Chains A and B, each alone.
Chain A
């Protein structure tokens, strides 16, 4: 197995162009596990940890450009207030050691349906910046996940960064696991309220072949809030509305039975989580008046 260790972004893109079957590795919390278990034996590994550009984040054009190599620990420490939904998701990732190694870019690269970042990125309307020697493009995160552990990257492309708009409204994230820390999601849900455009963002994790939005549920909630004038009045969220939103989020999922949980339980938890986070987010929105 070749081990490619570029030290600049340009060199990394050149290496990926030359070795399109090389597997990019950042924190290694997914890739190295697969290699150690001999589930995967790529012809080459492309180590991105020596590329300084990937470890940077900065505000740019009203958004945050989060380098693909920024770890969960840094998301929590440095962006906890700026990107609350993503930071909440990052806090649920593995152990402190894993959060020190694992990166949001790596999460996207693995594209697991259980990836903890994904529901938060979906809810926040993030874009994934990908690059190759041919150029750079941005992919809306909802179009990034193309199948179980598959994403929209071309063979010569690498993930450069994630673009997220600092929210003008509340964000929430929650995740079900059968212990109270260090657990892979049985199901997860991310929510963002976008009051400026009277919209609701959603993200479902671990309950479909890919992370996905609950688009109909989000449209329903936004529409009901609009119809009742609640965006302006900041009145209380009717319980029945939260319950119906939960039911519609549940209906957007397509989970399976596996060793971590049953499909029925996953569906049930989505309805409960969506109902609860809608309430928490709305309470925050009201109190922000």
Chain B
């Protein structure tokens, strides 16, 4: 950057689709002035805190709140008895009490709430709540969950979902067979902005909730049920979100802050500290995976089998959908004629798991990519070539029998990363920051071996399996101070990914305006769907585009000239002649349209065969990792992490690069270090001291090739961007470490002692 001047103003012609428009929140964030949800403030507010279970599984014999209520400054102490409506929330199953009733099923389950005039007072009072627990046997090994003698986490059994995919020969054989077992640890989203919100009681008996979240309307539905209030009395506005990655799809402070606000009649702020945050949101499912490939001697796949077990933890959250993804996408982006996949998600007394970037595909990719390497080695085919050989192409069917009806450039992606320049070989006196261990000065080159690994993936975009997945957009065009201004209003959450910039770019493109006001995200407009599944640019982008088209049609209908367009403050004919000024046509009025927009429908899969058009779109990516491993100490330095990804159409190229860089870092983190360590149901590292995420010294600069093969079914041809990098980067890193060390490394994160064998 040569320019130091940053402006949020853009000239006409700038900031449209395909250009790297500046984010309106960018300057505020880098200067530390952006107001996150944890900065919410109300002069009259009190602070809410949560008392959580110390046990993975226990019966609540009694709760005595007397001493807590007596603490000066405390305005409310609530338990399940104080829930006015139905004490149950959940994304797929209403299995999660807002506050525990009768039993706690995981360490950290909310049991009681306290509101006080100071957060410290509230915390101290919470410690004076006396809960008499009768500890119950805990189910903490998901591999035992379906045993006849396993403790029941829920009365109707420990199975959340089981799915099967059967395609082709039910008992296939092949000349070459490789089979391996894998294990993936529990990753955390590790967003930096803790769960927080402010609930303000309203005169109508309702409540206004300002909260960092991913899907306002599904939050609203769940909150209403617990509060026993209709939607018009529970109004949500998105507060500043400091990252999400799936971890804000399930509720955290939402219901609790509202309960306290309605009880106290005061605005209630809740904001988790970091350790509480680790207990306060769902994590990525740990998984146990058994995979088998059968192939011809040349490496062509004959069959694929997989048995995948996801630990859902104590409550279902989105486990069923994760099982759906893990199953339907579980063999990776390969054309495989004969398939047998079983995927299950189970309840345990471990921390609840749910949505996280990559959603079921991350775990599977570690398995299918490692197995693909094993197959390549067995048949003596190059690891890149075997992926090109078996990779899906346009028109192929995937394992659920769905025809891939837009680009599936597996071979091009993997060959693109292969053909990128490799980092220079290490020379003698390297800067220790470039070596494994970094400034910790553990090697000056001794024991360091380089390895290269490849991985490729595909991921569904949007909600699947027949879900009615839509977004709503309201767009208004009017003249303000002689200038045309578009206002775009959606409830789609901006969580840092750049959706508000995309909304502005679409409005500028479709309406020819310069100024686009993004209305605060709230529930006064229809649902924008979830900010997850890489779907918002596609689906809310599609809704905004459609709303703009409706506005444009309405405006142009007022001039009697065909095929006109909007350009700045003018209406211009196809020949470039000014037909009218927008001021003349609009006068002092506004044109406003609201559109509910859907992508092509998906279908539920057949329960017996798993066949069906389960997904609306697939996004493909490939990574090549180059690592230096200190094989004596087990320390890893990722030297290069290069990628190629088909994004259909880069609406905002810089934002696309940012998503790819961030997603790649997150995937690398799971391969190397990111794991919530759970022992007997207890989280042992609920802090950033011991839950490690990559630093700038761990993440190399990246080469990124962005392919743009438009999806003809998607607005502007877009393909979801956010998730694929998180899926293919980790397996590439793991493969590179295997290449450097010769170790099997069937579990991620790869710990140093797995490499050293000590």
Whether the pair A265, B634 counts as a contact (CB closer than 8 A) is: yes
Whether the pair A92, B441 counts as a contact (CB closer than 8 A) is: yes
The answer to whether B118 has its CB under 8 Å from any CB of chain A is no
The answer to whether B746 has its CB under 8 Å from any CB of chain A is no
Residues from chain A with Cβ under 8 Å of B438 in the complex: 180-181
Whether the pair A176, B444 counts as a contact (CB closer than 8 A) is: no
Whether the pair A265, B441 counts as a contact (CB closer than 8 A) is: no
Q: Digitize A242-283: 1 where CB-to-B-CB distance is under 8 Å, 0 elsewhere.
A: 000000000000000001111011011100110010001000
- A contact residues vs B (CB 8 Å cutoff): 36-38, 88, 91-92, 172-184, 186, 259-262, 264-265, 267-269, 272-273, 276, 280
Whether the pair B695, A181 counts as a contact (CB closer than 8 A) is: yes
The answer to whether B284 has its CB under 8 Å from any CB of chain A is no
For the complex, give the distance between the alpha carbons of A187 and B47 in Å: 41
Q: Digitize B68-91: 1 where CB-to-A-CB distance is under 8 Å, 0 elsewhere.
A: 000000000000000000000000
Whether the pair B441, A88 counts as a contact (CB closer than 8 A) is: yes
- B contact residues vs A (CB 8 Å cutoff): 123, 273, 275, 433, 436-444, 446-447, 632-635, 637, 672-673, 677, 684-685, 689-690, 692, 694-698, 751-753, 756, 758
For the complex, give the distance between the alpha carbons of A269 and B569 in Å: 70
Whether the pair A280, B444 counts as a contact (CB closer than 8 A) is: yes
CB distance from B292 to the nearest CB of A (A): 32
CB distance from A31 to the nearest CB of B (A): 15
Whether the pair B441, A178 counts as a contact (CB closer than 8 A) is: no
Whether the pair A179, B692 counts as a contact (CB closer than 8 A) is: yes
Residues from chain A with Cβ under 8 Å of B439 in the complex: 91-92, 180-181
For the complex, give the distance between the alpha carbons of A259 and B684 in Å: 7
Partner of A36, one of B273, B440, B635, B758: B273
Residues from chain A with Cβ under 8 Å of B444 in the complex: 276, 280
Q: A265-B634, A265-B758, A272-B633 are in contact. Are A179 and B273 (CB under 8 A)?
A: no
Name the CB-closest residue of A to B634.
A265
Q: List 8 A-B contacts (CB under 8 A).
A: A91-B441, A178-B673, A178-B692, A179-B698, A181-B698, A268-B758, A269-B752, A276-B444
Q: Beyond A175-B442, A177-B440, A261-B751, list 6 extra A-B contacts (CB 8 Å).
A: A176-B633, A178-B635, A180-B438, A180-B439, A180-B695, A269-B756
CB distance from B179 to the nearest CB of A (A): 29
For the complex, give the distance between the alpha carbons of A182 and B460 in Å: 36
Partner of B695, one of A182, A184, A260: A182
A91, A174, A175: most-surrounded residue (chain B CB, <10 A): A174
Whether the pair A178, B689 counts as a contact (CB closer than 8 A) is: no
For the complex, give the distance between the alpha carbons of A76 and B247 in Å: 39
Residues from chain B with Cβ under 8 Å of A177 in the complex: 437, 440
For the complex, give the distance between the alpha carbons of A182 and B756 in Å: 22
Whether the pair B756, A176 counts as a contact (CB closer than 8 A) is: no
Name the CB-closest residue of A to B436.
A180
For the complex, give the distance between the alpha carbons of A92 and B437 in Å: 10
Name the CB-closest residue of B to A89.
B441
CB distance from A88 to the nearest CB of B (A): 6
* Chain B contact residues, majority secondary structure: loop
For the complex, give the distance between the alpha carbons of A146 and B123 in Å: 34
Whether the pair B123, A38 counts as a contact (CB closer than 8 A) is: yes
Partner of A178, one of B275, B433, B632, B751: B751
Whether the pair B753, A181 counts as a contact (CB closer than 8 A) is: no
Residues from chain B with Cβ under 8 Å of A276 in the complex: 442-444, 446
Residues from chain B with Cβ under 8 Å of A186 in the complex: 752
Name the CB-closest residue of A to B120.
A38
For the complex, give the distance between the alpha carbons of A173 and B432 in Å: 13
For the complex, give the distance between the alpha carbons of A182 and B444 in Å: 19
Name the CB-closest residue of A to B684.
A259
Residues from chain B with Cβ under 8 Å of A36 in the complex: 273
Partner of B442, one of A174, A184, A264, A265: A174
Name the CB-closest residue of A to B124.
A38
Whether the pair A179, B123 counts as a contact (CB closer than 8 A) is: no
Q: A38-B123, A182-B695, A268-B758 are in contact. Are A175 and B440 (CB under 8 A)?
A: yes
Residues from chain A with Cβ under 8 Å of B696 in the complex: 181
For the complex, give the distance between the alpha carbons of A177 and B751 in Å: 11
Partner of A264, one of B440, B635, B698, B753: B753
Whether the pair A180, B441 counts as a contact (CB closer than 8 A) is: no
Residues from chain B with Cβ under 8 Å of A38 in the complex: 123
Name the CB-closest residue of A to B749.
A178
Whether the pair B753, A262 counts as a contact (CB closer than 8 A) is: yes
Whether the pair B677, A174 counts as a contact (CB closer than 8 A) is: no
CB distance from A95 to the nearest CB of B (A): 8
For the complex, give the distance between the alpha carbons of A38 and B441 in Å: 34
Closest 10 CB pairs between A and B? A180-B438, A265-B753, A268-B758, A181-B697, A180-B697, A175-B440, A174-B441, A259-B684, A264-B758, A174-B442
Residues from chain B with Cβ under 8 Å of A180 in the complex: 433, 436-440, 635, 637, 695, 697-698
For the complex, give the distance between the alpha carbons of A193 and B127 in Å: 53
Residues from chain B with Cβ under 8 Å of A37 in the complex: 273, 275
Partner of A184, one of B689, B752, B756: B689
For the complex, give the distance between the alpha carbons of A276 and B437 in Å: 14
CB distance from B289 to the nearest CB of A (A): 24
CB distance from A35 to the nearest CB of B (A): 11
Whether the pair B752, A175 counts as a contact (CB closer than 8 A) is: no
B273, B436, B692: most-surrounded residue (chain A CB, <10 A): B692
Residues from chain B with Cβ under 8 Å of A269 in the complex: 633, 752, 756
CB distance from B752 to the nearest CB of A (A): 6
For the complex, give the distance between the alpha carbons of A182 and B440 in Å: 10
A174, A175, A179, A183: most-surrounded residue (chain B CB, <10 A): A179
Residues from chain B with Cβ under 8 Å of A178 in the complex: 635, 672-673, 692, 751-752
Residues from chain B with Cβ under 8 Å of A173 in the complex: 441
Whether the pair B441, A262 counts as a contact (CB closer than 8 A) is: no
For the complex, give the distance between the alpha carbons of A265 and B752 in Å: 8
Whether the pair A259, B442 counts as a contact (CB closer than 8 A) is: no
CB distance from B729 to the nearest CB of A (A): 16
B442, B446, B634, B694: most-surrounded residue (chain A CB, <10 A): B442
CB distance from A123 to the nearest CB of B (A): 14
